[in-house]
Structure formats: C-alpha cells, structure tokens
Structure 1
Amino acid sequence: MLGVHFAITSEQERSLLAADDDKVGEFLEEIEESWDGDAFRVDTDKAWDAIHRCLTDGTLDPDGGPYPMSHAVLGGRHLHDDYYVVYVSAAEVRDVAEALRTVDRVWLRSRFDVIDGSDYDGAQDDDDFEYTWSNFVDVRAFYDRAATADRSVIFTAT
C-alpha cells in the first residue's frame, strides 16, 4: 500500500467529516485527482509503514504508542472500513509537528533496528533505513507546514 498525507482546508475537513463510508471514498478520489502537488501533500510510498512503527510501539496498531507520535501516520480518527483514511485535527497536527521536531536520525535508527522483522515487509537494512529516514524528514516538514497553516491532515494508504 502506498501512503499519502494531505493537509486539507477547513471546507474540505467539514465535507470529509460529514461523509459516510461511501462518500469518504468519493471524497478521497476527488481530492487525489484534483490535488496539484503543492506543499500540503507528501507521498511516503511504502515508508509510512516503517515510520509508524518507529514512532510507536513497533507495530501497525494505530493505538500502539504514545500520543502525539502515534498520530503522525495511523493514529487518529479512522474514516473508512476498507482502507486507511485517518483524520488528525488541526490541534493534533500542531502537537504532532512539535513532537516530530524532537526526532533525530540516531533516535529513529535505534527504533528502526528493533522492528520485528517477522511482521515487517521491508528489507530492514541500511538502504531501507535511508529510505525511511528520507521519507520521515519529508513528513516532519509537511507537518510543520500544515501546523503553520492551521490545517487538519488526512493520511491515506490504498
């Protein structure tokens, strides 16, 4: 599954939160097709998996780790039953952005090295860590931009 974060406007947020399961899928399609690739979107490809594991308890459990780190990827309000559409409010985005600023390369590497390889599809080698780190840096910068703009975030993985 490929992951994408979007920092949505308050109007988009209202539409999304008012939608039922079917309408969430339609909203997501619409937003993916119309998004112009600006600063309020970040693609994490498959690195979202390792990023979430590193920031939490090493699993893909959305509740598996302390807030606000858990909300950088899978933590938050899940809005769809068949795939990940995870909502994080603007207030939570500010908390996540602040927490991610404390993460350095050494800390992330120490967390990466203890991921349970039997439950993780990545290679878990130096190249995989570099891929994870590079994507994490993009996610951290994205959350800073979203927090500054007072936007909520949705993470999707399909």
Structure 2
Amino acid sequence: MLGVHFAITEDQERSLLAADGDDDAVAEILEELEESWDDDQLKVDTDKAWIPIHRCLTDGTLDPDGGAYPLSHAVLGGRHLHEEFYVVYVAAAEVRDVAEALRPLDEDWFRDRFADALRGEDDDFEYTWTNYVDLRGFYDRAAASGRAVLFTAT
C-alpha cells in the first residue's frame, strides 16, 4: 500500500466529513481528489515508508491509536473515514500540533526510534529518513496554509 498525504481545502474537508460513514462516497471523493490534485507543495508521497515512519513516531506498531498525540497523528492517527482502506483525516488545529512536534526530531532521534521500532527487521533507514523529512516539510506547509490533512493508503 502506497501512502499519500494531502493538505485539503475547506471545501474538500466539508465534502469528506459529510460523506463519513458512506465508503462509496468517500472513495468517490478521494478518487476525484487524486485525479485533480495540482499542488505538489501541499501533497507528499511517502510510498511504503509511511509504515516505518508511523512505527517510529508511535509505539512501534501500526495501531492507529498507538503512541502519544500529536506524533501519533502524523500518519495513522486521526479520524478514519473508510472501512476497507486508510483514509485518515487530521483537522487543521491538529495539523499545527503535528507540525510543531515533528520539527525538533532530528536524524539521531529518528535513527534511535527506527532501531527500537523495527528491531532487526530488514528496512532501509535512508529511504525512511528521506520520506520522513519530506513528510515533516509537508506538515510545516500544511500548517502554514491552515489546512487539514488527509492521509491515504490504498
């Protein structure tokens, strides 16, 4: 499953929240969003790195409720809008909290968490770190824009 974060507009946010509970409507809105997206500064692809990133930022698991807020909300924490795949909404106020929490996490901190969270698993630190840095910058831009974030992995 490939992960993508979008910093969504207020109109997109309203549509998604109104569709919550209707998987078909959420999927349709998501498909339209993906096809029409034109602002690369307010989108970040984390490929498969979203998995180890979430594990590093939380309790080492893929549990959406694992770990502490606000780091838990960088990937899987937040409001889940679809039953079959990840469509996770993070409100604009939470986006600011996530951005602030991610800012001070340097490579040494992340390397330590990576070693703890992925004990002995064959994963690529540099790949994960590069995607994490992109995600951190994305959250800064989303927070500065006052936007909510939508994470998808399908």
TM-score band, normalised by the shorter chain?
over 0.9
Partner of 2:136: 140
1:97 maps to a residue whose letter is: A
Hey, what's the Cα distance between the residues in 2 that align with 1:112 and 1:37? 30
Partner of 1:94: 96
Deviation at 1:115, TM superposition (A): 2.3
Q: 2:61 aligns with which of 55, 59, 76?
A: 59
Structure 2 unmatched runs, 5+:
none
Corresponding residue SS for 2:132: helix
Q: Please give the per-residue CA displacement for 1:57-116, whole angstroms capped at 9, x wherever unaligned.
A: 000001100000000000000000000000000000000000000111001000111224
Hey, what's the Cα distance between the residues in 1 that align with 2:112 and 2:82? 33
Corresponding residue SS for 1:66: coil
Give percent identity, aligned residues only: 72
Quick check: 2:95–2:147 contact (8 Å CA) kept in 1?
yes
Q: Which runs of 4+ in 1 moved over 3 A?
A: none
Q: Would you say how many aligned residue pairs link Structure 1 and Structure 2?
A: 152
Hey, what's the Cα distance between the residues in 2 that align with 1:97 and 1:117? 27
Q: 2:47 aligns with which of 41, 45, 48?
A: 45
Partner of 2:126: 130
Hey, what's the Cα distance between the residues in 1 that align with 2:117 and 2:106? 17
Deviation at 1:131, TM superposition (A): 0.4
Structure 1 unmatched runs, 5+:
none
Q: 2:75 aligns with which of 73, 76, 82?
A: 73
Partner of 2:148: 152
Deviation at 1:24, TM superposition (A): 0.4
Question: Are residues 1:4 and 2:36 paired?
Answer: no
Stretch deviating more after TM superposition (33-42 or 49-58): 33-42
Stretch deviating more after TM superposition (100-109 or 31-40): 31-40
TM-score (norm 1): 0.93
1:150 maps to a residue whose letter is: G
